[in-house]
Structure 1
C-alpha cells in the first residue's frame, strides 16, 4: 500500500501543479486548513512566484477587499511605506504575518520598472467582515456615490450626499460588537437601513447603466473600483439586514452572504486574467460547506462552489492537509487516516493526485481525522477526489 500511495505524489511546484490539471484554469485556488501558519504562507508565496512565470498576474487572499486596494496601489505604484501598508491593507490581523509582508515586498520589487500590463496585482476578496461583526457601509457607499456624482448627471442619482450621510448615521451603530449575538442590537433592519439598501441597489445599477461613459472617463482601475464599491455596499447592507434577523435561518444566511460576496469579487477578478487564490479550504471547495456555530449545524455554498458553478473547468481547487501543528496540540495523525498515510511518506511536503489516491484507497475507507484544536479542519476522506489535487505538509514550524 505504501509504495502505491507514494506513486500518487510528486514535488510541490507550479509546473507539477499545472500538469496535474486537465487544462490551465483561469482561477487556480489553493486552500489551507488553518490560518496564520507561516509555513503555509511561505509555500503560497513560492507557488505564486512560480505561477507568475506561467502567466498568472493576480493573487487574491482571504482579506478585506477594500483595504486590499491600499496594497494593490503600493505594489503597482510604490506609494506608501511597506510596514504601514501591510498593517492597514491586510485584515484580520494577518498583516502581522512575516510571509504576508514578504509577499507584498516581493510584488513591489517585481513590478519596479515594468509596464502596467506586466505587473502583478494584489486583491483581498473577502468582505469588510470579521467573525465578530461587519464594517459600516459608509466607505463603500460614499465612494460609490462620489464616483458617480463626478461623472454622470447628478439628476440620475437616487439621493444627495447629505441624505446619504443622514441615513448612515454614526459608524458605531453599524459596528456594535453585541449585534452578532443579539439581533436587537443591530440596525440592519431599521427604516434607514432599508432606504440605504434601495439607494445602494440604484447606485450599483447606475454603474452598469452608465458603463460606456464611466469606462471612457478614466483608466480601467477606476471602473473596477466603482464596481467593487457597488458589490461591497450592497453585500454589506444585506449582511447587516441578516444580523438583525431573529429567525432560525439567521446564521446560515450570514455565512452564505459572506461567501456570496467573496464569489462576486473572485468572478470580477477573473475577468481581467488568470488569478491565484488563497483562502481556507472551506471557502474554496466545490462541495457544500458546513460547520457548527451557536449550537447549530450550518450548511451553505462557499465561494469556490459558487465560482465553480459559473466558471466550470476554468476553476481549479487544490486543498492543503497537514500532519502536525504541535504548537497547537495537533500531533502525529493516526495511521488509518489519509493524513496518517501521507505522514508515513518521507517527503516534508508533497503534491498528491487525489483521484489516483482515491483509486488506490478504494475499499480501504480511511478514518476521518479528529482535531483536538478547533482552528484546524482535517480532510474529509469521503470527499478526497472532489478537488483537483492536494498539497500535504508534514509538520508546521513552531510559531
Structure 2
C-alpha cells in the first residue's frame, strides 16, 4: 500500500461547519452524519457541536435522529414550546426517545440547547427536533393503533362523516389487543404474526383510504387547521401504512424475510426525511448503514446475508446533490474490546494522525490511499461497523474520531 499518515494528514481538517461546507458544492437540503456505533457520548458531543454550528451559520432548521418518529413529537413540542406541551425536560427524555437514546447526556444537552436557541424566535425560524425512524425495534414493531386512531381522529374532526371509510369503533375492533401486534416472539417465529390476518388486511385498505382522504382534502384541511397539524396527520398516515406493511412482512416465511423487513424500515425512514426536507433544511444523525449510498448489508442470527437499500440511498436517488453524507470512522472503543486498528486498514492509517478528531475529503483520501485499497477492518464487536474503503467514492466527507472513551 503506497501511502502513509503524512500523505493523509494533508487532507485532515477540524470538524466544524466551515470544513464540512468546504467539501460540498452548495448547502444540501439534507446533510447526514453517520456513526459506526450507537450509545457513545463522545461521538454525540462531536455531533452536537457540529450541528449547532450548522444551525447558527448555515440556516439548518430541523434535526432528525434515528429515533421513533411518533415518540419524538414530545421532543419537538418541548423544543418549540408548543402551547399545549406540558412535559418537563426529564419527561421528554424519558418518553420522547426510542432505543434508550433518552438516557444519553449528550442527547439531553442537545435538546436543552435547541430549546434555548428557539427562545424568543418567531415560529418560522425555530429549530425542530424529530425522530425519523418508524416505531420499530430489532425485536419487533409497535401496534398501528396510535397512528391509525390519530389519523382518523384528525379527519373525523374536519370532514363530513360520510367521507370517512369507517368509524373509530371499527378500527378498534379490527385492531384488537395491542399485545398481539407487539409480541416479540414474532421476530423469530413468523407464524405467530397477525400481519396477514383478515383483520390486518382490512386495516391496510382502511389506512390507505384514510391517507387518500387526507391528500384529497388538503385545501380544506390547510384552511381549517394549521400546516403543522396537517403535517402531523401526514406523519400518522405514513406511519400507519408503513407499520401495517411491516407487520405483513413479519408474517413472511420466505428466505428474503429479513432483507424485506430492513428495506421496509429504511423506506419509512426515507419517507419521513422527504417530508421533513419539504419544509426546512435537515440535519440527520443515524448509523452509517442507514445513511450510506451503497447497498447496506449485515448478518443476523446465522442467517444468509441480509441486504437492502438504506434511507440515505433512497433519499440520495431522489434528491441528487441535495443530499450529502458524512461517514464517521473511529480508532478505538477499548471498553468494548475495539483496540488499536491494524496499520494496514483505513482506520489504522487514520489512527496515526495527531488530531483527536478531524474531517477528511474522501477524494483526497482515496488519492492518498492509492491502489490497491486497504481491506476493511474486521470488527471484534458486533456493535461497531468499520468504514469500507471501497465506499469512499460515494461519501461526501469522512469524520474520524481517534479514541472513544467510555461514556
Would you say same fold, with TM above 0.5? yes
Distance across 2 between alignment mates of 1:354 and 1:385: 7
The reply on whether 1:107 has 2:107 as its aligned counterpart is no
| Aligned residue runs from structure 1 range 14-29, under 5 A | 14-29=17-32
Deviation at 1:398, TM superposition (A): 1.7
Structure 1: 5+ residue stretches without partners: none
The reply on whether 1:194 has 2:206 as its aligned counterpart is no
| Aligned residue runs from structure 1 range 306-385, under 5 A | 306-385=314-393
Secondary structure at the aligned position of 1:336 is classed as coil
Deviation readout 1:80-109 (Å, 9 max, x if unpaired):
210111111011111001001111111111
**1:4 counterpart residue number:** 7
The reply on whether 1:13 has 2:16 as its aligned counterpart is yes
Distance across 2 between alignment mates of 1:32 and 1:162: 44
Deviation at 1:184, TM superposition (A): 1.1
Alignment counterpart, residue 184 of structure 1, candidates 180, 188, 191: 191
Distance across 2 between alignment mates of 1:268 and 1:226: 12
| Aligned residue runs from structure 1 range 182-261, under 5 A | 182-261=189-268
Distance across 2 between alignment mates of 1:169 and 1:191: 12
Alignment counterpart, residue 98 of structure 2, candidates 74, 79, 91: 91
Secondary structure at the aligned position of 1:305 is classed as helix
**1:57 counterpart residue number:** 61
The reply on whether 1:66 has 2:70 as its aligned counterpart is yes
| Aligned residue runs from structure 1 range 112-151, under 5 A | 112-151=119-158
TM-score, normalised by the number of residues in structure 1: 0.99
Runs of 4+ off more than 3 Å: none
Structure 2: 5+ residue stretches without partners: none
Secondary structure at the aligned position of 1:278 is classed as strand
**1:37 counterpart residue number:** 40
Distance across 1 between alignment mates of 2:237 and 2:370: 48
Which deviates more from structure 2 when the two are superposed, residues 30-39 or residues 152-161?
Answer: 152-161
TM-score, normalised by the number of residues in structure 2: 0.97
Distance across 2 between alignment mates of 1:291 and 1:398: 25
Q: What is the number of equivalent residue pairs in this alignment? A: 399
Secondary structure at the aligned position of 1:77 is classed as coil
Deviation at 1:364, TM superposition (A): 4.1
Deviation readout 1:14-72 (Å, 9 max, x if unpaired):
11101111111000000000000000111111111101111001000000000110000
Deviation at 1:366, TM superposition (A): 1.0
Which deviates more from structure 2 when the two are superposed, residues 209-218 or residues 358-367?
Answer: 358-367
Deviation at 1:359, TM superposition (A): 1.2
Distance across 1 between alignment mates of 2:107 and 2:300: 29
